[in-house]
Amino acid sequence: MRVGVIDYGVGNLGSVIRALEELSVKPVLVTRAVDLHTVDSLILPGVGNFADCAKLLNDSGWVEPLRQEVHVASKPLLGICLGMQLLATTSMEGIADNASNGVVGLNFIPGRVENLRTLGCNLRIPHVGWNAVTSHTKVGGLFDGIPDGTDFYFVHSYVFVPDSPDHVLATTMYEVPVTAAVRSGHIWGTQFHPEKSSRAGFRLLRNFIENPTC
């Protein structure tokens, strides 16, 4: 299994690569969109501002090759943190006018990205730290072997709100319900950082690598 880590100019690449190496997987750093076809599955990291990252993906020519590999070739994809949010249709992060329809994302999983404040959260933002995650699937999948209530490490101010609740794979509570993971077929995303979430995070990455379409 050749796991490609997408390097489009941002992202917590070092820790993702080290986590994969700990799992005895030799990650492939994909620095050019034309090389996406050379790997078996893809990880899309992301840190920073949605608008900036979306612009980098567009300006560097990643969007259409990603669509070809994920939608046409059915290549498994895991988005991490902002990488998960980029799977959405639009985001309200990075826009000057809140009346705008938002910044356009990849639209791999229909939905919008909203600020925690907009969702009614009055706790400190950004949300940084360990939170218990509850999976909405009981057998197999990305959370196979991971008990409900296991803590994962979060760093974020915005939240992915899928159009369909069927795409919500797991949730956490930060005063308000927060989407912790999403899924649509062979496309997955985690708001938390599995590569920084100790043993449970490594188990989740192994689940994705070993059975990414389960």
Q: What is the DSSP string of 135-165?
A: ES--SSSTTTT--TTEEEEEEESEEEEESSG
Over residues 76-111, the pLDDT tens digits come to 999 999 999 999 999 999 876 655 788 999 999 999
Catalytic residues: 81, 193, 195
pTM over 0.75: yes
Q: Determine the pLDDT at residue 112.
A: 97
